[in-house]
Structure 1
Amino acid sequence: MLNLNRLVEGRDAEGVLEYAREFHGHVCPYLALGIRASLVAMEELGVGRLDYSGSVDESILAIVEVNSCFADGVQVTTGCTLGNNSLIYLDLGKTALTLVKRSTWEGVRVYADAEKLEKYYPPGATELFNKVVRERKGTPEEKTRLWELWEEAAHRILHMPKDEFKVEHVNVPPIEQAPIFESVRCSKCGELVMETRAVYIEGKPYCLSCAGEKFLGVVGRGIVEFKGGD
């Protein structure tokens, strides 16, 4: 991980992409876009990748507005992840990142317009993507060819000029640090559940699933509602 910190510090986008390949599972345009947008935001804000102390203190926050490959590029590059409570997801459906200093709540928002990316795609890549991914109809040979074209596009996007992005300096309303909650044991399944996610029925604690209550989760299309007991 220290090597990754040095790669980010040295703005070695190609090196960061190789780390991201392992994390994400493959290389694609929006993974590269997340890396490039992050590097732009970090340079504008004058911050480095989140280190040990910073991740504990949540000193830098990354706010993403879409749960796509873009978000993984952001997590790898900035060090702000869902698990260390420094990544915040807003279900807005926009390819945008806001990087924020918790100390001052000064931030930089970097937005990427999909229509501006088209010129970075090799001929036939979009049509192949529609067949293989959108329609799920591609042959094994077409899938292999798509990944080749997609990787070619990713390396191009990795070096997009800064002026291809919409870059804004913003002030972000303060966001609380992650609190620590006690756990209680569900009276039905016997599993521990965060106290704030438990409901009480006749004085006994139950997890939302066992209680048949509604709760939220993130799937491919964003935040959706689930119901316990289904």
Structure 2
Amino acid sequence: MMQAKDFFEVGLKFHGHKCPAMPLGLRAGAAAMNALGAERSQDKELVLLAETGNDHAAGCFVDGLMTITGCTYGKSNIKKTYYGKMAFTLIDTQKQKAVRVQLKPEFFGKMLQSPFVQQRKQGVPPQDVPASITDPLVEGVMKRAEEEFLDISPVFDYPFEKGKGTFDTDLCEACGERVFVHKLQDVKGKKVCIPCAEKTK
């Protein structure tokens, strides 16, 4: 059984500052993995679809998800949908099962009224918010019962077809840089990379 507390220190180092949202990701990710009976992803056993974006509060949630699930951008097994929701779907590609987890709307609404968020709204960087404000919130997240802040769907079927990684490369005939072949474009009979193709538009 996954325990968020076992990944807390790693999550802090990876994320870079202490805030309530990263631990929320740890807790939510652990809940999803436990619902699926899944282990941390070593390769692409798990795929995560995060419904967050990149221009709103609490995006730090995703770093917690990545830390505990092992779904990372380097392994290409996490994607953002940019829906602007504090929710995600975790897919077990081997069992072809998935679960969707979201922060309860009323909990998230109250969270955005917290002293931490008020400081952030005033332009205070997260690492400069006083520990007297941050620490109790983080501790509360780590100790809170799941049912108080998470909506966890029933596990459902999720047919998932794994793609094959590309190992073949070639040189762009415009800039000379090496490119994975599936990203080369045909422009006037030449194989060119995406940036060079865009320059010709």
TM-score by length of 1: 0.73
Aligned: 1:170 with 2:156: yes
Mean CA deviation greater in 116-125 or 106-115? 116-125
Which structure 2 segments of 5+ residues have no match? 54-58
Aligned: 1:179 with 2:162: no
Residue 173 of structure 1, CA deviation: 3.5
Mean CA deviation greater in 22-31 or 60-69? 60-69
What amino acid is the match of 2:66?
Q
Aligned: 1:156 with 2:140: yes
Check 1:146–1:172 CA distance in 2 against 1; reply closer, same or farther (3 A cut): farther
Residue 155 of structure 1, CA deviation: 2.4
Aligned: 1:205 with 2:191: yes
Percent of paired sites with the same residue: 26
Residue 44 of structure 1, CA deviation: 1.1
The number of equivalent residue pairs is 194
State the distance in 2 between where 1:178 and 1:90 align: 22
Moved over 6 A (4+): none
Query: What SS class does the counterpart of residue 88 from structure 2 fall into?
Result: strand
TM-score by length of 2: 0.82
Report what 1:145 is aligned to.
Answer: 129
Alignment of 1:1-230 (within 5 A): 11=3, 13-51=4-42, 55=43, 58-67=44-53, 68-113=59-104, 115-117=106-108, 119=110, 124-132=115-123, 138=124, 144-146=128-130, 148-163=132-147, 164-168=149-153, 169-212=155-198
Indicate if the aligned counterparts of 2:41 and 2:71 stay in contact, CA closer than 8 A: yes
Which structure 1 segments of 5+ residues have no match? 1-8, 133-137, 213-227
Residue 19 of structure 1, CA deviation: 0.5
Residue 31 of structure 1, CA deviation: 0.6
Query: What SS class does the counterpart of residue 62 from structure 1 fall into?
Result: strand
Check 1:36–1:131 CA distance in 2 against 1; reply closer, same or farther (3 A cut): same
Mean CA deviation greater in 173-182 or 80-89? 173-182
Aligned-residue CA RMSD (Å): 2.7
State the distance in 1 between where 2:81 and 2:144 align: 25
State the distance in 2 between where 1:188 and 1:147 align: 53
